[in-house]
Amino acid sequence: MNYIVKKVLTLIITVLAITILTFVTFTVIPGDAAVAKAGVDASDEQLEALREEMGLNDSIWTRYTRWIGGALKGDFGYSYQYNNVTVSYLIKTRLPVTLMLAGLSLLLIIVFSIPLSLLAVKFRGGWIDHVISGANQVAMAIPSFFMGILITFVFGLVLKWFQPGNFPSPSENFWGSVGYLMFPALTVAIPKIAMTVKFLRSSIEKETKEDYVRTAKSKGNDEQRILYVHVLRAALIPVITFIALVLAEIMAGSIVAEQVFTLNGIGRLLITSISARDYPVVEAIVVYLTSVVVVINTLVDILYQLIDPRVRVS
């Protein structure tokens, strides 16, 4: 219990530190928020009035406490780039697509990486193992934006399995939207599958050299059964942590995939907001994404020590 309390406290402090860091960063970088909002040709009086209205003339501490106070209530203020649109509204409308994409990517990673790594171990040193590890190297080496362009080109323009840019709304055509999302999800998942297979394969391989496997074998147990029941279970424990880390990378991958596949999600909102210098939106998204990652990591830490009591000692 003590451990969990400690973990949660660390979590809160980390998230607070992130908010301060984000806020300060966007205050120091060049660029005047008033100019961003009022346009290039605004007069000095207009800008001054706007700065006053936006509270930009207050001290950074006043602005931070005001901002964090609102943020705790889920109020991140108004967007600069879109007139009369709240940051919360923007995030709320963009979130479903990103969550769907992240969920699908994670599903693909799990569905592909476990069988592939088992195959690789089973046919250790054989041609299947070589093909898998070769494909792994290639998949890890391709940058995700390029992977996205390739997938768009092959499946969208040549094979015409989907129409790039024609993403159906999930509320109107759920399965149609899932079908479209398979391609960006693949873009996000392929390098991660490669990483997971590499990791899981060595984890399984290490496990098969353990004493208990030899004991099980000597007792005349079926080799298949040993691999699936005993070894895989033990080997999956470190993989849980690994997948949690991968989740953070899925978020990063989604930003690229949303851009290439013109999905209107959080990632694209982040990019447009950065180029439009819409700081309230950028701040909210950065805090949001980092919080998700930190929370997942904390959950995994807690879960991990529930699975493996040895962690509790340290």
Partner 1 sequence: MKKSLSFLIMLVLVLSTVLSGCAGGTSNETSANLSSDTQTEPVYGGELVYGMTQDLVSLDPHQSTDAGTRSVVFNLYEGLVKPAPTGDLIPAVAEEFSISDDAKVYTFTLRNGITFHDGSLVTVQDIVYSIKRYAEIQGESSAFSIALSSVEATDDKTVVVTLKEPDSEFLSQMTLAIIPEANADPEGNPIGTGPFRYVSYDVGDKLVVEKYDGYWKEGAPYLDKVTFRFLPDVTTAVTLLKAGSIDVLNYMTAAQVSELTKAQADAFRIVEGNMHLVHAMFLNNAYGPLSDVRVRQAICYAVNRDEINQFLFDGKSTIIGTHMIPDLKTWYNEETASVYSYDPDKAKELLREAGYENGFDLVITVPSAYDQHIDTAQIIADQLSKVGINATLEKIEWNSWLQDVYRGRNYQATVIGFDGKLNPSDWLAKYGTGADKNIANYSNAEYDELLAKALAAVKTEEKADLYHQMEMNLAENAASVYIEDPADFVAMNANFDGYVFYPTAAYDVSTIYQVKK
> Could you list the residues that contact partner 1 (CB under 8 A)?
30-32, 35-36, 39-41, 43, 45-46, 81-85, 89-90, 93, 111-112, 115-116, 119, 128, 131-132, 135, 138, 149-150, 152-154, 156-157, 163-166, 259-260, 262, 264, 268-269, 271-272, 275-277
Smallest distance from partner 1 to CB 118, Å: 8
3-state secondary structure of 164: coil
CA-nearest of 101, 146, 87 to 269 is: 87
C-beta of residue 297 within 8 angstroms of C-beta of residue 251: no
Note the Cα 51 to chain centre separation in Å: 35
Cα–Cα distance measured from residue 239 to residue 237, given in angstroms and rounded to the nearest whole number: 5
DSSP state at residue 158:
I
How is 265-298 classified by DSSP, letter by letter?
Answer: SHHHHHHHHHHTT-HHHHHHHHHHHHHHHHHHHH
Cβ 16 to partner 1, closest distance in Å?
28
Shortest distance (Å) from residue 177 CB to partner 1? 14
By C-beta, is 76 or 294 nearer to partner 1?
76
> SS3 string of 16-48?
HHHHHHHHHHHHHCCCCHHHHHHCCCCCHHHHH
Pick 69 or 165: Cβ nearer partner 1: 165
Name which of 264 and 305 has its Cβ closer to partner 1: 264
Burial bucket for residue 96 (CB in 10 Å: 0-12, 13-18, 19+) = middle
Residue placing its CB nearer to partner 1 in the complex, 19 or 144: 144
Pick 123 or 304: Cβ nearer partner 1: 123
Q: Considering the complex, what minimum distance in angstroms separates the CB of residue 232 from partner 1?
A: 14
Distance, CA of 124 to CA of 134 (rounded, Å):
13
Question: Smaller CB distance to partner 1: residue 128 or 178?
Answer: 128
CB of 9 to partner 1, least distance (A): 38
Q: Which is nearer to partner 1, 69 or 115 (CB)?
A: 115
Q: Cβ 74 to partner 1, closest distance in Å? A: 18
Closest approach of partner 1 to the CB of residue 48, in Å: 11
**For residue 138, what is the enclosing H or E element?**
helix 127-141
